């Protein structure tokens, strides 16, 4: 495992750091490691936008590598080593449900009371945003003063106006009340406003930093397109919730002349549906012709051909990564995935033909109505793929998410998920398929936070403080279940009651 340097070392090795100071000082926190933070293009965009005014500056903080093992590990800003309680406001970008308890942990380790109710009037306001806000935000309620929902670019000027004279928490909340896309838990309760969708002028998102210590080392991230034109039933970025927005090729290529990209060894094109972006091949050609490596965040098997895979191979792409998402053709159809076996078989041929290491296939297990016959089909199909190219199968348990047609679907019990995973792994292991999977018990935690209300956020914080083991999580959720039978699906219930937002993506 690579050793991550200390704060000073990280800043020494990073390209694109902003070190300016303003009269109003903001802290942008990412409740996960520096390595993971570097893979978030949205975080990079916010860092730049929050530094766009002379009077306001923004530093970053991440979860230190030893934060979970060392209770004395402190949170300090990356740029100047300042504690969170020295800032005028603290903002969080949250990507995953399991990062939710890291938010109060970062506050506590930075000298700020983690619970909103325990903070006095002069404590810095705490504002959250990020990809998680496209789904369930209710568990954030105990910790934050405000949440920006969805794609935040358009509301940043309003946010900066509200923050510029260093308002106290109550003043800030009063200023933000009624701003579209901003949820104020204290005032709005569980009536969460609609999610923001960015206009074309904000697309493509352009990166701000790159680092050899980020997930994609020394890769400069650049958005190709935003949203998706498709309707997969389990997905929070399906077209009704996040429509496809495709910038012209020229707009994307213009970014390559910026210093961040001009000097980068590799360019990563980011988007939920990169291979549905019409000029993708031309963009890849332009990048490869500049002598740079390429990465892409998503590929659909039915969009692959020799030209596309040839360019990816020329740009150093090593494993062709595609998603079936469902275990069988029947389920792919039900989920509106729009892909057939022949697309994946052709992808395996292309991977082998261009000398790639192989094919990586993502599959969700436990989708509604899945049967053992669907799992049998997956096993058989993977064996046929393996006959064509080395195969890595990555299995994830299905977690129903708000803003999707499957929001109210059940979560398959952990034991039955585990049995399926073991069966797939046992059989395919003999067939020399590498099988990786996300543990069902942590998917269950994700499910609870995807569906729960404020109590589930508090339970997550308790579980982490108690040690963060599986038993701690079980106990924390058992405690709230004993008191409140409705908590497990509180977000769905609230959405139905308000008729506002949870099922919007189902339209």
Give, in order, the Cα–Cα distances in Å from 387 to each of 329, 344, 383.
Answer: 19, 12, 6
Q: How far apart are CA 206 and CA 74, in angstroms?
A: 31
Q: How far apart are CA 484 and CA 340, in angstroms?
A: 44
Judged by CB under 6 A, the stretch of 160-168, 214-222, 233-241, 456-464 that binds ligand SF4 is 233-241
Q: How far apart are CA 362 and CA 193, in angstroms?
A: 33
To ligand SF4, the closest distance from the beta carbon of 46 in angstroms equals 22
To ligand SF4, the closest distance from the beta carbon of 273 in angstroms equals 5
Residue number, 208 or 328, with CB nearest to ligand SF4:
328
Near ligand SF4 by CB under 6 A: residue from 90, 235, 274, 445 = 235
49 scored as a contact of ligand SF4 (CB under 6 A): no
Q: How far apart are CA 262 and CA 266, in angstroms?
A: 10
To ligand SF4, the closest distance from the beta carbon of 228 in angstroms equals 3
296 scored as a contact of ligand SF4 (CB under 6 A): no
Residue number, 59 or 328, with CB nearest to ligand SF4:
328
Instruction: Identify which of 369, 376, 386 has the alpha carbon closest to the alpha carbon of residue 333.
Output: 369
241 scored as a contact of ligand SF4 (CB under 6 A): no
269 scored as a contact of ligand SF4 (CB under 6 A): no
Contact 68, 96 (CB under 8 A): no
334 scored as a contact of ligand SF4 (CB under 6 A): no
237 scored as a contact of ligand SF4 (CB under 6 A): yes
Number of residues that bind ligand SF4 (CB under 6 A): 8
Q: Enumerate residues 172-231 that contact ligand SF4 by CB under 6 A.
A: 228, 230
Residue 324 — φ and ψ, nearest 5°? -85, -35
Q: Show the DSSP H helices in 101-225 as ranges.
A: 102-108, 156-163, 169-176, 185-188
Near ligand SF4 by CB under 6 A: residue from 273, 356, 428, 463 = 273
Strands (E), 37-94: 56-62, 89-93
Q: Enumerate residues 112-131 that contact ligand SF4 by CB under 6 A.
A: none
Residue number, 244 or 314, with CB nearest to ligand SF4:
244
Q: Show the DSSP H helices in 405-489 as ranges.
A: 414-430, 440-451, 454-465, 470-483
Burial class (CB within 10 angstroms; exposed 0-12, middle 13-18, buried 19+) of 114: buried
To ligand SF4, the closest distance from the beta carbon of 507 in angstroms equals 14
To ligand SF4, the closest distance from the beta carbon of 402 in angstroms equals 15
Residue number, 169 or 238, with CB nearest to ligand SF4:
238
Q: Show the DSSP H helices in 34-192 as ranges.
A: 34-37, 41-49, 102-108, 156-163, 169-176, 185-188
Near ligand SF4 by CB under 6 A: residue from 78, 147, 232, 364 = 232
Near ligand SF4 by CB under 6 A: residue from 75, 90, 269, 272 = 272
Q: Which residues pair with 392 in a beta bridge?
A: 360, 434
To ligand SF4, the closest distance from the beta carbon of 272 in angstroms equals 4
To ligand SF4, the closest distance from the beta carbon of 280 in angstroms equals 14
Tokens 């003063």 sit at which residue? 145
Binding residues for ligand SF4 (CB under 6 A): 228, 230, 232, 235, 237-238, 272-273
């Amino acid at each position: 495992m690579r050793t991550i340097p200390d704060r000073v070392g990280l800043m020494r090795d990073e390209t694109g750091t902003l070190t300016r100071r303003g009269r109003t000082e903001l802290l942008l926190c990412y409740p996960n490691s520096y390595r993971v933070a570097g893979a978030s293009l949205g975080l990079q965009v916010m860092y730049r936008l929050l530094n766009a005014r002379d009077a306001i500056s923004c530093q970053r903080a991440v979860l230190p590598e030893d934060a979970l093992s060392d209770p004395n590990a402190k949170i300090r800003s990356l740029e100047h080593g300042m504690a969170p309680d020295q800032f005028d406001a603290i903002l969080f970008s949250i990507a995953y449900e399991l990062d939710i308890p890291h938010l109060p942990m970062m506050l506590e380790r930075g000298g700020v009371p983690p619970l909103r109710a325990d903070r006095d009037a002069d404590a810095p306001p705490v504002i959250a945003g990020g990809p998680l806000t496209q789904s369930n935000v209710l568990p954030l309620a105990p910790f934050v003063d405000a949440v920006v929902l969805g794609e935040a670019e358009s509301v940043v000027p309003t946010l900066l106006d509200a923050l510029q004279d260093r308002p106290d928490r109550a003043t800030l909340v009063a200023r933000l009340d009624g701003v579209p896309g901003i949820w104020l838990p204290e005032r709005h309760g569980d009536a969460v406003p609609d999610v923001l969708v960015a206009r074309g002028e904000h697309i493509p998102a352009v990166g701000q930093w790159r680092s050899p210590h980020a997930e994609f080392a020394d890769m400069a991230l650049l958005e190709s397109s935003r949203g998706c034109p498709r309707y997969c039933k389990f997905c929070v970025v399906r077209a009704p919730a996040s429509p496809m927005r495709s910038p012209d090729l020229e707009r994307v290529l213009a970014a390559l002349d910026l210093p961040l990209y001009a000097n980068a060894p590799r360019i990563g094109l980011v988007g939920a549906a990169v291979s549905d972006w019409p000029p993708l091949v031309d963009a890849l050609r332009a990048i490869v012709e500049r002598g740079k490596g390429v990465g892409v965040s998503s590929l659909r098997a039915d969009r692959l051909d020799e030209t596309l895979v040839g360019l990816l191979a020329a740009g150093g792409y090593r494993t062709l990564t595609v998603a079936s998402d469902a275990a069988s053709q029947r389920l792919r159809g039900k989920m509106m995935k729009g892909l057939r076996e022949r697309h994946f078989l052709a992808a395996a041929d292309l991977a082998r033909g261009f000398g790639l290491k192989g094919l990586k296939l993502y599959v969700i297990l436990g989708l509604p109505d899945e049967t053992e016959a669907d799992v049998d089909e997956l096993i058989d199909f993977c064996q046929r793929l393996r006959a064509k190219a080395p195969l890595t199968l990555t299995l994830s348990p299905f977690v129903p998410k708000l803003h999707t047609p499957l929001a109210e679907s059940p979560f398959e019990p952990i034991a039955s998920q585990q049995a399926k995973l073991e069966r797939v792994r046992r059989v395919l292991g003999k067939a020399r398929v590498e099988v990786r999977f996300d543990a069902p018990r942590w998917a269950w935690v994700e499910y609870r936070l995807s569906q729960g209300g404020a109590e589930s956020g508090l339970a997550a914080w308790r579980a982490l403080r108690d040690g963060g083991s599986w038993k701690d999580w079980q106990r924390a959720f058992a405690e709230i279940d004993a008191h409140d039978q409705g908590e497990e699906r509180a977000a769905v219930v609230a959405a139905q009651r308000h008729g506002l937002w949870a099922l919007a993506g189902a339209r």
